[in-house]
Homo-oligomer: A and B are copies of this chain.
Amino acid sequence: MPLVTVDLPRDLYREKHEQISTGIHQAQIDALGIPADDKFQIFTPYDPEDPTPRFNTDRPAQVIVGLTMVHRHTITEKQELYKQILLQLGRIGIDPSDVHIPLTENDYHDWYAGSL
């Protein structure tokens, strides 16, 4: 049920999207204990020659990991999630300072995911 959206440079997407996908999913399992078959990700590559996404920094490798999930975790658990995501992405060679994570919470009844 958690929805993960990943905006990332097209080259990084081409070379490493499987590792990134697996890494973020593993972070959710390790930090929050989500079921292993609860994987729900959308990747959106962008072209750095397009000035988008646009930051004040000139870093070409920004990765934005948007999370939408049910409000049921403590602040500590959420921080552990960010830490595990950074750890997993770090192993793939993505610098933590290139990662941004905005999280939006909703409730159990704010999802249709296969059954009513």
Contacts and interface: CB of A to CB of B under 8 A. Distances in A.
Interface of A: 1, 3, 7, 17-18, 21, 37, 39-44, 46, 50-56, 64, 66, 68, 75, 78-79, 82-83, 85-86, 96-97, 99-106, 109-114, 116
A100 B7 CA distance: 20
Contacts of A112: 82, 85-86, 99-101
22 contacts: A1-B102, A3-B64, A3-B66, A3-B100, A17-B51, A18-B51, A40-B55, A41-B53, A41-B54, A43-B52, A43-B54, A68-B104, A75-B109, A78-B110, A86-B112, A100-B111, A100-B114, A101-B112, A101-B113, A102-B110, A102-B111, A105-B110
Given A75-B109, A79-B116, A100 B40 contact: yes
